[in-house]
Structure 1
């Protein structure tokens, strides 16, 4: 994990391996961003011209390394592109800073210490830079060379060691608090990434529950794990049905963070399919290789609650991790089977690959029993949502327009791309079953919305609820960009944390 520190703004006086400066894309070429003045002075005021000669334009995520001149205590300068210049007298967008810091941290993999002399003109800007550097500096090397790669071993460079953010007033209380928050949130996002990237033979439902239990106890979070016997006794037909085909039995994990001054309560519910083969409705070739990521929702819920505990937020949060492995075998649920859910409602299973909604349904009804002020579930639920919104944006659905809008706005504020989606009532007809109360499949077109409508049936009356379908952004199969690595991304953690903060402040929509 990249360590985050604050240093005085005079970057030239900081001993480091690299000094990072920002450059924006101007109308007539690259323009140095605030924070680069001391470095530019060492270049005789010609740093922008040198960068342009080297082909730099200031485009977003562009990185250019060059040797440092005399006068700087670092041997290398790294210029990172911020994209277009902001409007006159406006500050750089926080997510542009976050992305630039992330790109710089990735370019500096294996470097011991870098000073980030980027625009840090407010506590919010400092937080964005720190978060971007910590997230961009992430690497997952646990399975390479017995972990030596994480130390800069022969199989990999390892992460950036320390990111020192250069600011005018490093001892300012607001700036220090912003850095501490950014560090806690980024560490928890990276914790969720580690879980998502862990191979499914090592992250079974039981193993995930053990990891969650250990972290919960460390951070003063109450934990309860329902094993297969407790699930049978409690009548959790959805979770048991999905896990029936696997040798690794399912689990339902309850995490409870409380604060003595809390006035509001939230429930977070996460889909935790530790591996999804599709069950009897087996996934086609080419669709199985990344299915270790189907527990990303549970990872996000777990990480967000730990972050809330670390930040001491004045809100009560209960998290539910619905953990199962969806496998085909002689004991697996079949298309045509009927499951009796924890709510008592019966579900005809038409497709065993629509399993996430089944485990979530049990957890949602259980979460509803405590009557929280709001419930948010997070899940890599449907390929249809990826078709609708692509690979970088998650969908937000809900039973309350104001709350759905609030969650969408909070996600954008946290730097996570989202889009509000409807729940058209006419799509419910497709889930009618001649045998059971409801089927787990409906119309193929609008499949992401159908899944949301199914989940809505298992939310307690009068409780505001939002559903985040993170199927697109949860796992990056392409090249890294900004502060987003290849593999698990930790999608929705920052949104949940920001929602908890807003709720604690009395701003629940």
Structure 2
């Protein structure tokens, strides 16, 4: 389910490389396309620049053009990758990251690739290496034709080298490799079909992958969940023959500077339950565990990067199926911690499993708790398919949005209007799982907010509430359109880099 077959990342010189292709950047300047700083000899660069107009090269983002046999270049194939406008400024780190990803993605079938994009600083090298690493992704676990010539022609790049003079380049590449691997591990889990990934196998995959890593793992099975009162997870999962799990993973360095908790929605397949989805709305529902996959990958990466922060991850795993044992609209669930929920729509199930895990996470009084989920279709209506909505306490919400911008991801701060919380009031229970249809992304966040610190004493909660933020990745988690930059079709691994960046910031 999680491949270990990631590309190697090393430094190289142009003269010493044995790569089959060299990636060079092109931008759109005031007078047309222009080469970015590159390792080519001056005369070879001049000849290549003179070819840009005849070849119709524009330098726009996602443009990739192959030029074989450039005189003076020791590599047989030069690959030009666009970064967009450079008319007013040098390309941003994110433009370089996307350009590297687009080029490496287009070079599938090439074993070794050298990257000559601008990488003269640690920051630029990190961006280029992350983009190249993420761009080399492919999910082939269930292909039966792996050894055919066609499969070899489409195999991802397996060795990436970077022409750079950046200080501490090897350390930068090691870190970039861990970050790219975290994104790709998330993609692997999301892309795995529900026939193979369900709560029990998800939990076993986590246990096996983290064995010997120093990350501790605890798994609650259905009997333990029932005995300990996890009514949300059990309620959602009781309609399936594949019963739910709760997984807690922890990276706990001895000298941790802070404690961060992350909760992930792990609905391994979502039919909508009794409130059944239309058939066409189920085709991507293997991705409804993207939050839990992200949490696993982030905690794993925090350990591999040696971040001096205690990180606890909570994976709330269930399969939402319709059956004679499934919960019904109007049922009331008693959640972990004692709060009761009237279930008015069984397709609003993610917030139910998340609520249980949020209560458990905040019982441990972390410095901050965040949750990440493919939670609402309303997120896509409000923000589209590439922008994550972030809600919660203003300070944490804004810190996450700023971190996303810094690492090259797209997020937007959203409020939680109090009138939307009022729409969740229930006449028969403490709260309903659905509220006002308009602003559904924000009312879902209002529901989750009610479970932060829900099992702690009221005076204790008032004196030291746990800072909290919620990330809704319903649209950005799964790309149903064409690939772009370092983002493939299907699972994207969105917000993994943001969460890693947030945690690294807490390490000081």
Is the Cα contact below 8 Å between 2:329 and 2:343 reproduced in 1? yes
**Structure 1's 5 and 155: CA in aligned 2 closer, same or farther, altered over 3 A?**
closer
- Aligned with 1:6 (options 6, 11, 19): 11
Match of 1:472 in 2: 475
1:225-374 pair list within 5 angstroms = 225-374=219-368
- Aligned with 2:36 (options 10, 33, 36): 33
Could you tell me the TM-score, scaled by structure 1's length?
A: 0.95
Match of 2:123 in 1: 124
1:66-103 Cα distance to aligned partner (Å, 9 max, x none): 11234322211100011010645xx4211000000000
Q: Using the alignment, how far apart are the partners of 2:315 and 2:423 within structure 1?
A: 29
1:38-437 pair list within 5 angstroms = 38=41, 41-42=43-44, 45-85=46-86, 87=88, 91-145=90-144, 147-148=146-147, 154=151, 157-169=154-166, 172-173=167-168, 175-398=169-392, 400-437=393-430
1:362-402 Cα distance to aligned partner (Å, 9 max, x none): 0000000000000010000000011100000100001x211
Q: Using the alignment, how far apart are the partners of 2:506 and 2:87 within structure 1?
A: 31
Q: Using the alignment, how far apart are the partners of 2:282 and 2:133 within structure 1?
A: 30
1:482-501 pair list within 5 angstroms = 482-501=485-504
**Matched residue SS, 2:278:** coil
State the Cα distance separating 1:7 from its structure 2 match: 1.3
Q: CA RMSD in A?
A: 1.4
Q: Which runs of 5+ in 1 are unaligned?
A: none
**Structure 1's 114 and 458: CA in aligned 2 closer, same or farther, altered over 3 A?**
same
Q: Using the alignment, how far apart are the partners of 2:451 and 2:404 within structure 1?
A: 24
Q: Using the alignment, how far apart are the partners of 2:272 and 2:378 within structure 1?
A: 16
Is the Cα contact below 8 Å between 2:253 and 2:310 reproduced in 1? yes
Q: Using the alignment, how far apart are the partners of 2:302 and 2:125 within structure 1?
A: 20
**Structure 1's 86 and 29: CA in aligned 2 closer, same or farther, altered over 3 A?**
closer
Q: Using the alignment, how far apart are the partners of 1:13 and 1:51 within structure 2?
A: 26
Q: Using the alignment, how far apart are the partners of 2:212 and 2:487 within structure 1?
A: 28
Q: Using the alignment, how far apart are the partners of 2:18 and 2:203 within structure 1?
A: 44
Aligned pair count reads: 493
Q: Using the alignment, how far apart are the partners of 1:340 and 1:6 within structure 2?
A: 56
State the Cα distance separating 1:153 from its structure 2 match: 5.0
**Structure 1's 302 and 420: CA in aligned 2 closer, same or farther, altered over 3 A?**
same
State the Cα distance separating 1:452 from its structure 2 match: 0.1
Is the Cα contact below 8 Å between 1:212 and 1:302 reproduced in 2? yes
1:198-248 Cα distance to aligned partner (Å, 9 max, x none): 000100100000111112223211100000000011100000000011000
Q: Determine if the alignment matches structure 1 residue 456 to structure 2 residue 456.
A: no
State the Cα distance separating 1:147 from its structure 2 match: 4.1
Match of 2:456 in 1: none
Q: Using the alignment, how far apart are the partners of 1:471 and 1:480 within structure 2?
A: 18
1:254-301 Cα distance to aligned partner (Å, 9 max, x none): 001101111210000000000000000000121001100000000000
State the Cα distance separating 1:127 from its structure 2 match: 0.5
Q: Using the alignment, how far apart are the partners of 2:432 and 2:253 within structure 1?
A: 40
Is the Cα contact below 8 Å between 2:234 and 2:244 reproduced in 1? yes
State the Cα distance separating 1:51 from its structure 2 match: 1.9
State the Cα distance separating 1:28 from its structure 2 match: 1.4
Q: Using the alignment, how far apart are the partners of 1:52 and 1:164 within structure 2?
A: 29
Mean CA deviation greater in 321-330 or 412-421: 412-421
**Structure 1's 58 and 249: CA in aligned 2 closer, same or farther, altered over 3 A?**
same
After superposing on structure 2, the runs of 4+ consecutive aligned residues of structure 1 that deviate more than 3 Å are: 146-149, 152-156
- Aligned with 1:446 (options 436, 439, 442): 439
Match of 2:457 in 1: none
Could you tell me the TM-score, scaled by structure 2's length?
A: 0.95
State the Cα distance separating 1:495 from its structure 2 match: 0.9
**Matched residue SS, 2:280:** coil
State the Cα distance separating 1:15 from its structure 2 match: 2.4
1:459-488 Cα distance to aligned partner (Å, 9 max, x none): 013000000000110000111000000011
Q: Which runs of 5+ in 2 are unaligned?
A: 1-5, 454-460
Is the Cα contact below 8 Å between 1:13 and 1:72 reproduced in 2? no
Is the Cα contact below 8 Å between 1:242 and 1:326 reproduced in 2? yes
